[in-house]
A and B are shown apart, each in its own frame.
Chain A
């Protein structure tokens, strides 16, 4: 059992069309580094300089990582990670 990572549509081209891929346990940044090894290019799309890009939201088991420990949030086997581009709003 690994970490389940859900990939948003705009990035599925980099995962050969897969909506869900497996990732390695560790911090969010470690997870992204590992993903980038297997799916080259995905790392720079969702992060920059060791930080998740400002307009990319990452959820661990449905909780926004900014409510957890941000990039230092640790994920373990069985956790579900969602990568979701932020959408612009305004009432």
Chain B
């Protein structure tokens, strides 16, 4: 059983068997899962999908696992919300939020990739899962790994905010705080991955892990009533999510679920770390690495592994790239919260603010349908809003004090 025929290097095309490997031995390019689409086409139809449970495993044939899911049994199938209040604010006709702020169980899209990674880790026979992370991934590996009964090693930069550390520690992984930045943690982890036989989800399991992101794309299509939107805006860190959302759309066309795709794909980044959107704007496919300086820390990868492929996907889909300042990110978070009642993390602020800019620039047409991918929950990055929220009215516990507040509020409350 299974619909995977092997792994293939994205750069030079050399083929490899299905093993916990991630780079081409010859040219160091990334390995990607190869599927037997002819076989999948026969079993994966709209009708069959609709009969299944509402989680990401309803697209199992297009995921690189052989047997039953082993982790994240309730992950995925987050709401696609018609955002009419926000649409009015931005002056567009048809706008949707793909809301992964409520992903199960750790409130970010990382629950999708980790569900797939841990299932694959079990199939490979690993008893320990690990990752290098600054937040969302650490939370997800810690939680999913606890439920699925794995030993867990999570490596973080020592300078991480206390709230993020607690949100991992509560699941009792082995949490290792490394005296260095994320890139140094990542480099160390690749050495550890060579020495210990562990499933590092974003290193030796990466070809499988990354496929989990496609489920975000599959769900958008299904939840729109089996059609692709005119535009989709995706936040970029490593560039993997954007690449996989685009791949998901193309796979649905490949297996006949969609007749055509006219979607333009847009890459959203913070100006303080925008190697991908910069390359797109400059019309080059050379990614110049940067030293990140932005409040959108979950997007702060200065040397994005899939940057080149994200640029290619945007080019192929006829989209564009955009980036926004820290101030615009905060305004984006607040706008989404006050119009749609959704509290996104800083990455969500990036995506929203970029969408606004793309609309104003006429790159997203006002009469088209647009999906904004909001990939993580704002409760995780509350410190970013310090000093930028609405004021609190502090009063004595008596009615006169309250009436005084009402008077000060004046007409706007009447």
Contacts and interface: CB of A to CB of B under 8 A. Distances in A.
Contacts of B202: 88-91
Interface residues of A, number: 18
A67 B289 contact: yes
B301 A55 contact: no
A44 B85 CA distance: 56
Interface string B160-182: 00000000000000000000001
B23 interface: yes
B186 A87 contact: yes
B305 A88 contact: yes
A49 interface: no
Contact of B305 (A45, A64, A70, A90): A90
| Interface of chain B: mostly helix, strand, loop or mixed | loop
B352 interface: no
A87 B29 contact: no
B30 A88 contact: yes
Given A55-B11, A88-B305, A45 B26 contact: yes
A88 B186 CA distance: 9
B289 A64 contact: yes
B289 A55 contact: no
Interface in A35-70: 45, 48, 53-56, 64, 66-67, 70
B288 A88 contact: no
B210 interface: yes
Interface string B250-288: 000000000000000000000000000000000000101
Contact of B298 (A48, A56, A91): A91
B403 to A, nearest CB: 49
Interface in B179-220: 182-183, 186-187, 190, 202-203, 206, 209-210
A91 B29 contact: no
Most chain B CB atoms below 10 A, which of A54, A55, A56, A89: A89
A91 B134 contact: yes
Contacts of B182: 89, 91
A67 B24 CA distance: 25
Interface residues of B, number: 38
Nearest to A88: B305
Contacts of A88: 22-23, 30, 202-203, 206, 238, 305-306
Given A10-B25, A56-B28, A86-B305, A91 B203 contact: no
A55 B182 CA distance: 19
A4 to B, nearest CB: 21
A37 to B, nearest CB: 20
A26 interface: no
Contacts of B60: none
A55 B28 contact: yes
Contact of B301 (A66, A67, A89): A89
A80 to B, nearest CB: 18
Contacts of B22: 88
B90 to A, nearest CB: 29
A32 to B, nearest CB: 14
Contacts of B190: 87
A54 to B, nearest CB: 6
B289 A66 contact: yes
26 contacts: A10-B25, A45-B27, A53-B28, A54-B29, A54-B308, A55-B23, A55-B27, A56-B27, A56-B28, A67-B288, A70-B286, A86-B28, A87-B23, A87-B186, A87-B190, A87-B203, A88-B22, A88-B206, A89-B203, A89-B238, A90-B206, A90-B209, A90-B240, A91-B132, A91-B134, A91-B301
The 3 closest A-B pairs by CB, nearest first: A85-B28, A55-B28, A90-B238
Interface of B: 11, 22-30, 132-137, 182-183, 186-187, 190, 202-203, 206, 209-210, 237-238, 240, 286, 288-289, 298, 301, 303, 305-306, 308
